[in-house]
Amino acid sequence: MKKPFSAKSKAGIPARYQHFDKSYPAVMQAVEALGEATQSAGPLDSKSRALVKLAIAIGGLREGAVHSHTRRALEVGCSPDELRHVGVLAITTIGFPSTMAAMSWVEDILRK
């Protein structure tokens, strides 16, 4: 089964995720299969899907997911400005303070 991360990006994967993967490989295979199925379920290209996934993570105020989807978006060719724009778009939906938190999580990854 294809892994959702390249070997190059494996180093950036949080230890908690890697530990879960090692402890529950069958569950991770199922989660990865579901992820692959959702990625190919519609007409969006990889960059659009990456931006949507980042927006969902921002809207849910999920710091780890924002980090993960920022990394993934960069891997498929999204620019830092595109990622920041996703954050700016969140202001009218989740409010200014929440957006500032989410944008700081995007910047955590962009600074690396």
Domain positions in the chain are 14-42, 44-112
Position 59 scores a pLDDT of 98
CATH topology of domain 44-112: AhpD-like (1.20.1290)
Cβ distance 76 to 46 under 8 Å? yes
Position 13 scores a pLDDT of 80
Is the CA virtual torsion 95, 12, 33, 46 positive or negative? positive
Cβ distance 105 to 62 under 8 Å? no
- pLDDT in single tens digits along all 112 residues of the chain: 344 444 334 667 888 889 999 999 999 999 999 999 999 999 999 999 999 999 999 999 999 999 999 999 999 999 999 999 999 999 999 999 999 999 999 999 999 8
Cβ distance 70 to 54 under 8 Å? yes
How many residues are there in the chain?
Answer: 112
> CA torsion angle for 8, 13, 96, 88 (degrees, to 10)?
20
- CA distances in angstroms from 108 to 2, 13, 65, listed in the order given: 27, 14, 12
pTM of the model: 0.83
Tally of helices (H runs) and strands (E runs) in the chain = 7, 0
Position 10 scores a pLDDT of 61
